[in-house]
Chain A
């Protein structure tokens, strides 16, 4: 199982760039790295997914070094509405048994005015 480690909580201010790092030392060759965002009393929603190097979409960027043992979710110019829990998942969601995809406790991000 590809266990992940991410900070329990982070604080930042509106307009700042926030970087959340996830460690996954035993990532397998076929594993993707996927980040989800969860607001209170809602289901998680997909933010970004990558395999290697850098991926960018309209919401965030995902940086993955060559060894793939970690990844960094970057949220540019955060706002109060980015306050949420962020989960890093590692696995081959399409082909692996769901029991091999682990949601940890995530990173609780708090944005202040």
Chain B
């Protein structure tokens, strides 16, 4: 079945560490996105990529970095510069086709600073 796989499901980070969240899709979608969700809040856009080897900052990109070397993969690194990284992170993808259904989301990674 086609879909988006995020790993790990739970991740613990020590102060000062960089951690990388994985996102892989087999939907052949061109665009991929990273969102952050805090408890009781909506989704905020971190980074997005509409084509391989290109990506743009979203609303809250500070302290995060991404790469898009393959169409299928869009990993997110949470750097030590991100002062409050504890949150639920969601990866999504979409096709550029108006007959599509918008975003397909992964099941999320819950990151906790310990």
- Chain A residues in the interface with B (C-beta under 8 A): 32, 34, 36, 41-46, 49, 87, 89, 92-95, 97-99, 103-106
Contacts and interface: CB of A to CB of B under 8 A. Distances in A.
A104 B42 contact: yes
Interface stretch (B12-20, B64-72, B78-86, B94-102): B94-102
Interface size class of B (residues with CB under 8 A): 20 to 34
The main secondary structure of chain A at its interface with chain B is: loop
A34 B102 contact: yes
Nearest to B94: A93
Interface of B: 4, 31, 33, 35, 40-45, 48, 50, 56, 58-59, 88, 90-92, 94-98, 100-108, 110
B104 A46 contact: yes
A34 B31 CA distance: 18
